[in-house]
Amino acid sequence: MYKLLIACLFSLCLVQEERAYIWSDDLQLTWEDFNGKPSPGTTVVAVTASGISFGFSTKMSENKLVDYDAFVDAHFYPDKSWYIKEHANAIILDHERLHFDITELHARKFRKRIAQTKFTLKISDQMERIHTAINDELKQMQQQYDLDSNHSQNVAKQKEWQQRIKLELEKVAYYK
């Protein structure tokens, strides 16, 4: 018996039809990619809207999971990402790019956890638990990054984070 289960879940409650870029090594975001409108009364110069989507399909017999296939992608949402042109600069753009790289780091961690998990007939529950944990970790790291770098204002901390994320991405390069 074949069962097909697709679960596409987007963090930030974004609509599936929304325009998105999938992270890749050669994708270099520019300010032209930030097409959203700034929030009124904001104190930040730019916002990167990014998130992780995943889906999977299964092949099951009556009493066991026979096989499954899964995908995980890191997305950047240009219509939800924005900047204030008068205050934007290259340092802030690098800061925003790193937010997307942090999302990719967690997509790789998600793929790694999937590869390391022995799934059962309760694969939907297992996938959802992994997804929830990864999104919690992603949110926490994004917040810590903004706090440590003071939203790019602390240039030394910004550089430390850039090096840290580069190394972390290399550690999970197998799951690219």
Per-residue pLDDT of the chain (176 residues; tens, 9 = 90+): 223 222 223 333 344 568 999 999 999 999 999 999 998 888 899 999 999 999 999 999 888 999 999 999 999 999 999 999 999 999 999 999 999 999 999 999 999 999 999 999 999 999 999 999 999 999 999 999 999 999 999 999 999 999 999 999 999 999 99
Alpha-carbon gap, residue 72 to 59, rounded angstroms: 19
CB 76 within 8 A of CB 52: no
Q: What is the pLDDT of residue 62?
A: 85
Q: Is the pTM of this model over 0.85?
A: yes
